[in-house]
Amino acid sequence: MYLLAQKTEGTPRYAIPGIVAIVFLLVFLGMSFWGTDILLRDADIGTHIRVGDKILSERSIPRTAVFSELEGEASWTNHSWLAQVIMSVAHSAGGMSGVVVLYSFLIALAYALLVRWGMDQEIHLVMIIGILLMSLAVGAMYWSARPQQFSMLFVVIFHRIMFLYDRDESKHIYILPAIALLWANLHIGFAVGLLVIATYCLSFFVEFFVQKKGGDPAKRKFIVASCVFAACVVSSCANPYGWNLYSLVFNVTQNLEIQNTIVEFLSPNFKEMFYLPFLYMFLFSVTIFMFFPSKTSPVEVLMVLLFSYLAFTSNRFILFYGVIMVPILFRYTSLKSMLFEKKEKKHALFVEESVSPVTSSVGMSSVISFAAAKRSKSTGLKIESNEAYLHKEQGDEFLCAMDFERASEEYAKALSLHYKFSNVSRFLMAFSFYQAKRWDEAIREFNKILSEDPNNINARICLTDCFCEKEYYDLCLSESLKVLAVLPHHKDTLMTKARALRFSNHPEAAIAVYRDILSREYDFYARFYLIYTLLYKNRLSEAREEVALLKPNSAFQEGLLADTLGKIKKESRLAALKNILAKPYRNLSVACAGIVLLVLTLSLSGILRHDWNPARLPLDAARFIVEGNIPGRMFNPEQFAAVLTYMSPGQYKPFMDGRSDVYVGERWSDYLSVGRVQKNWQYLMDDKYQFDWVFYYNGMPLTDALGDMPDKWVRVYSDRMAEVYVRSTPSSQSFLSVHPAVEKFLPVKAKN
């Protein structure tokens, strides 16, 4: 429960807001009491349970396809053996209800972690609920009491830990190899966790080596994340199959027979309503990215591209897409983040309404005066056919007129023709680029100046602000430290530093910087941004105290004060709602543990009962087969095999089951040919495999074809879902004498 812990003002770490508790309990209780049709819709659950029983009874992990016709012949890489053992224990304790409660807990925990993630980022409550409902709608289509739900939970944990490392270089990253070891024994989906780490590694590489931003921190992150990735690869090999587990991952993803025939590997068909929640979530994500392109980070771009590609090419990845996108959408739809960005774009470059903080430090009037003096001295000088200097002179003229756009254009032309201008001239050019918000060119020129004159403090002050404007916050903070080492109380650099801290998710450090500024002198904008940072942290009482100290001295500042007062009123109403939600659940660990134990008790006592839905699976037909003890070799679809294995493990050896990787090749092709009544299907039935009886779907080409051969095949069972046919041979006459032919089951409409 520690992972659910959410730090809140005035409460210990284990005190958790009620919204997290409510989400966990709603999902857990909803699935535990009404999750039969969702969690138990897949018959493969039965095979997982019985394999787990076999592992526990024999104290060994099977190496061949147990409960199959190929047992003892075909090798089988059981990548979910530990999950099967856990399912077996849950089933032994509470039957199918125990399995449902187990997976209800895993699903609820995954979504509670996502909600906690949103609370950490101070996302508006409405946005958290809206995005979560979208993710629930996408995921609900793929929830099942199967080991893949372990992978969904671990994908959230891996993504969360890597996010924290990217943001704060959290030490939690070092536990990932241990989690990878556990995950690799639970489900093959551990490969998705490796993809998450690899995506972050690639983003750190892009930041440092390609975009040339992030500095040493980005390089360090790349090295550490790469080492952790390698450690996860090695630790994941601590499984019964070692490196062969990676061979299974490769074979399954590259085998065209599996990719083109198994439903969960096919691309989504958006003509079916089943896939519409995923489509809507994707379209919503694209729309959000179009509105806020400046907020995009390399890791988010890579993550969205990777998981969108996987989800569009294979159904099974839609579940992971639904949880991967949630924290990304949280950041993009953060109302407070949008507000800060809007305010920052509007008010970042000012001391009075139009002057940049850096401009005040460098001295706008002194720069313009210097440029004018320099131009007057150069007037009349003969510059021998040098076009670069002509563009520079034209730029100086525009600079004196404070036309920074045109000045920067002329300076850019001059620099493209000549690179040997003096540092003084180069500073005027860089300053024009800065004022024209041509940040990349300004950064390039200020860096060249500082490479020749590291003590040029004005260039370093401007460079610090350029880095902040480009959202290179690590570099901005690094340069600000160099400025403050020379000018420890330089107000405008402190303001830039606080801004970088705030937007790099270090609001507490930003608050400390603002308070440091205000401890020496009054500054309206320092207090203004202090108030908004306090609101971001939900520290309303402190924000109200600071608002009382705001003293606007212009109409512009009075407007800012009015906006701030309105924002505080809205936040006060929201805080009151949060307090109402949080009060009854201050100790979520105790509340959730108590309810989980209560549900578990109901399951163990038999009060809470779950079982397969007979409308979804051929339960009656399977009981008929188990009780009738049909002799000989059977032909069956994958889903039906699991029902028989669960009801009577070992009694029958199915021709085919859900372990598609075991049957790839000739057997799989023959299975499809018989099921679809294609090519030489009768030769396969009669000669190659010599099937004695068939257990198959009602109303399919195969059962219809067998029904047309009553002399050869006898229909001994038929219901809405399945039919059983027995070959009429001397060896089957004793069975047929007890179970004579029956009429084909037809729906009411068909009978009419």
Does residue 337 have a pLDDT over 80? no
| Residue-level pLDDT at 428 | 86
The yes-or-no verdict on residue 150 having pLDDT over 70 is yes
Average pLDDT, integer, range 62-80: 89
216: confidence class by pLDDT, cuts 50, 70, 90: low
Segment of 10-19, 36-45, 250-259, 341-350 carrying the highest mean pLDDT:
36-45
Which pLDDT band holds residue 116 (cuts at 50, 70, 90)? confident
Nearest-angstrom CA–CA distance, 123 and 117:
9
Range 36-56 average pLDDT: 91
- Which of 555, 524, 530 has the alpha carbon at shortest distance from 543? 530
Side-chain-facing half-sphere of 742: CA atoms under 13 Å:
13
Mean pLDDT is lowest, of 11-15, 130-134, 267-271, 736-740, for 11-15
Q: What is the pLDDT of residue 379?
A: 41
Determine the straight-line distance between the first and last CA of the chain, rounded to whole angstroms.
58
Closest to 500 measured CA to CA, from 161, 217, 171: 217
Res 370 pLDDT > 60: no
| 259-303 confidence digits (pLDDT tens) | 777 778 888 988 888 899 999 999 998 888 877 665 667 888 899
CB 96 within 8 A of CB 693: no
Task: Could you list the beta-strand ranges (E) of 677-748.
Answer: 693-697, 713-718, 722-727
* Cα–Cα distance measured from residue 265 to residue 57, given in angstroms and rounded to the nearest whole number: 33
- What is the predicted pLDDT for the residue at 610? 87
Q: Where are the domains of the chain?
A: 1-120+583-611, 354-470, 619-751
DSSP collapsed to 3 states, 442-501: HHHHHHHHHHHCCCCHHHHHHHHHHHHHCCCHHHHHHHHHHHHHHCCCCHHHHHHHHHHH
> For residue 360, is pLDDT > 60?
no
Residue 62's Cβ-count burial label (10 Å; 0-12, 13-18, 19+) is middle
Nearest of 642, 613, 624 to residue 722 by alpha carbon:
624
Is pLDDT at 575 greater than 70 in this prediction? Answer: no
The answer to whether 157 and 196 have CB atoms below 8 angstroms apart is: no
* Contact between residue 626 and residue 654 where contact means Cβ atoms under 8 Å apart: no
- Give the highest mean pLDDT range of 67-81, 339-353, 358-372: 67-81
Which DSSP category does 684 fall into? Answer: I
pLDDT at 680 over 60: yes
Residue 56, C-beta contacts closer than 8 angstroms, at least 6 positions apart:
85, 88, 89
Range with the lowest mean pLDDT among 35-39, 211-215, 696-700?
211-215
| Top-confidence residue, 386 or 79 | 79
- How do residues 444-494 score in pLDDT, each as one tens digit? 888 888 888 888 898 899 999 898 888 788 888 989 999 999 999 899 899
Distance of CA 85 to the CA centre of its chain: 28
257 or 10, which is more confident? Answer: 257
**CA neighbor of 197 nearest in space, from 218, 176, 171:** 176
Which run of H or E residues covers position 634? strand 634-635
* DSSP tag of 679: T
Average pLDDT, whole number, for the chain? 83
Q: What share of the chain is helix, strand, coil (3-state, %, to 5)?
A: 70, 5, 25
Residue 181 — very low, low, confident or very high, per pLDDT cuts 50/70/90?
very high
How many Å separate Cα 254 from the centre of its chain?
Answer: 24
The residue that leads in pLDDT, 123 or 391, is: 391
Neighbours of 452 (CB within 10 A): 10
Strand bridging mode 722-727 / 693-697: antiparallel
Structure tokens at 203: 């983003």
Side chain identity at 621, as an amino acid letter? A
In 3D space, the residue among 87, 92, 117 whose CA is nearest the CA of residue 102 turns out to be 87
200 has pLDDT over 80? yes
- CATH 1.25.40.10 is the classification of domain 354-470: yes
pLDDT of residue 339: 44
Inter-helix orientation angle 215-235/148-168, to 10°: 150
Q: Is the pLDDT of residue 383 over 50?
A: no
For tokens 């294979």, the residue is 314
Asked whether residue 251 carries a pLDDT value surpassing 50, the answer given is yes
pLDDT band at 211 (very low <50, low <70, confident <90, very high): low
- CA 367 – CA 468 distance, rounded (Å): 22
Share of the chain above pLDDT 70, in %: 85
Q: Return the HEC string of 120-131.
A: HCCCCHHHHHHH
When comparing pLDDT for 407 and 168, which is higher?
407
What is the band of 73 on the pLDDT scale with cuts at 50, 70, 90? confident
pLDDT at 355 over 70: no
pLDDT value, residue 172:
92
Task: Give the mean pLDDT of 518-527.
Answer: 88
Contacts of 238 (CB under 8 A, 6+ apart): 181, 184, 185
Place of tokens 């991952």: 249
Choose among 643, 653, 642, 745: nearest CA to 699.
Answer: 745
* Residue 346 in this model has a pLDDT that exceeds 60: no
Q: What is the pLDDT of residue 573?
A: 64
User: What's the predicted TM-score (pTM) here?
Assistant: 0.74
Q: What is the mean pLDDT of residues 313-341?
A: 77
The one-letter amino acid at 739 = H
Q: How far is CA 425 from CA 371, 396, 431, 445, in A?
A: 9, 9, 10, 11
